[in-house]
Structure formats: C-alpha cells, structure tokens
Amino acid sequence: MRAFRDFKPEERRNYITLSTGEYYPDILSDACRLYSPVLEFFSEILHRSESSTALLINLSQIQNQWMRTQLCRVFRKYVSPETPVEMLKRNTQAKQICAEFGDVFRPIHVVQERFDARPFPDEALCAVLWEYKDRGKKGYDLTEKFFEIIQAKFPDMKIWGPKRSGSDIQAISFWQDYSNPSRPLDFIISSADKKTIYAVGLARYDGDRGGAQEDDRIGGYKNCADEILDYVHSHNLKTKVIFLNDGPGLLLGSMWEDYSRIEERYPNEVKVLTLRMIDERLTQAWLKG
C-alpha cells in the first residue's frame, strides 16, 4: 500500500477534490438582493445613533442573530476594523468592546458621511459580505462526503461526529480518563455498538494555505497524534488516527511533505488521506489491525 509520500508530484492533483466556486461579477445580483435589507437597516440605526459607541450598543440589541452578525460586519468595515469580528458578534460584549476599543472608533459623523457617499445598494460591500456566506461550507461538504463513504465502505462499522456543522466530539466523552479534557475530534469510527474505537481523526479542507497557518496546522496535527497515541499505547488500545485533508492547498508550499512526515512518525497508526485516496489506502484490515 502506498504511503502519502509515495504519490508523485505529477499525479497529486488527481487525488485532490476541488470544490466549485462562484464567478465575479455573476454573484452581484444575488449579493445585493440578500444584503440590501442589511444595509438599509444599518443606515436607519446609523442615522439615529449619536455616537459610534451608541451605534454598536444599538446594533447589539437586534434580536435576530443572522441580521445582527451582518450588521456587525458592516460596523467593523466602517467604524472599527481593529475589533475582532468574533467579539462583535457577541451582543453581551458590546459595552466591553466600547470600553476597550471605543477610543479608536471612527467618529459617527464621518461614518455617516462615508456611508451616504456610497451608492445603494453598495455592490462592493455586498460582494464582501457574500464572501462570508459560505465560509466553512467546503469543510462541511468534505466531512459529509467522508461520512457517506465510510458508512458505505464499512457497513459493519459506525462513524459518528458532526457530519456538517455542530460541536466537535471531545475525546473525554468516550475515554473518561483522557488527560486532556478539551481534545476536540471531528469524527470517530467504531464498532456498531460503539464499544471498540477503531479510529479517531480530524478533517480539514485546505483551500489556500501557507506561512504561519501552515506551521500551525502541522504543529497541531503532531500534538494531536502524539497525545492520542500516548493514551492509546498506555491503555493497550489499537485505535488509529486519521487526518482527512483535501483541497488545492495541499499542493502549495511544503504541505504534502509536512503531512508525509506526520504519517511517517507513526507509519502503522496514522494515515493522512484525501477523499480520493480512501478506496486505495483505507482498509478494514488496517482499521482493525
């Protein structure tokens, strides 16, 4: 059986799954249709807010979570690009954000002038918001397809975890004495009764990676494999580790080489796979061996 490294550079593209994208400017009509109500609502709140901090407080009181998230993204673009968007999305943190970042908010009269100077709907801003719409979708598509393939290929086994969105599985939820209470996993492959864990793993779609992101991913995978296999070995288990990765990012930089090294550290217990490698490289004998 070929190792991850054994796939030659000239054939690697054939083992990558490419998600279809959307063309610009084709998306603009749909983007404007979806986000025009957001910009209209933002304009209404903007023009009745006496300050930029008041604007954020007013936005935080919107009950509809989807609408509030979009409004906060517009706020970040116009008022405070330094503020982390994840903080803005939490309506309970609005006062804290104002206290910590309010002194660098763009003044409200400038925001109003800049906003009013743009056409309505603002195609450029709608296009920016559209980019957020399907963030994470490629990763969800990857795990959903993986679940379907595993269930069809190994009908006597069970694969469980968040098939698309949802909370990760914590290792401690099935290994009660696991040392790290916050070790997240994307999937678990087990016997039908869940009493025997054959493999655990992570799944990621790499659209475009490099630099520090690449280093973080590799370091995280090494730590994950070391931690899980330390537990497996100390308890005389046979559980394997699978890293499901796919997408064109695998062909960039040193990604393929780095993943090869991870697999080679535990050649019989760790596999790095793409969807198109499953039939060739993931066998029942390996999982149960």
Domain locations in the chain? 28-133, 136-288
- pLDDT, averaged in runs of 10, over the chain (289 residues): 94 85 90 97 97 94 92 94 79 84 93 97 96 78 93 96 84 94 95 95 79 68 95 97 92 89 94 95 95
Q: What is the pLDDT of residue 19?
A: 67
Q: What is the pLDDT of residue 189?
A: 97
Q: What is the pLDDT of residue 209?
A: 58
Q: What is the pLDDT of residue 95?
A: 87
Q: What is the pLDDT of residue 135?
A: 72
Q: What is the pLDDT of residue 109?
A: 97
Q: What is the pLDDT of residue 113?
A: 98
What single string gives the DSSP state of each residue in the chain?
---GGGS-TTTGGGG-PPPP---TTTTHHHHHHHHHHHHHHHHHHHHT-SSHHHHHHHHHT---HHHHHHHHHHHHHHT-TTS-HHHHT-GGGHHHHHHHHGGGSPPHHHHHHHHHTS-SS-HHHHHHHHHHHTTTHHHHHHHHHHHHHHHHH-TTEEEES-SSSSPPEEGGGTSTT-S-TT-EESEEEEETTS-SEEEEEEEEE-SS--HHHHHHHHHHHHHHHHHHHHHHHHTT---EEEEEEESGGGGSTTHHHHHHHHHHHSTTTEEEE-GGGHHHH--HHHHH-
CATH fold, domain 136-288, is: Restriction Endonuclease (3.40.91)
Q: What is the pLDDT of residue 163?
A: 84
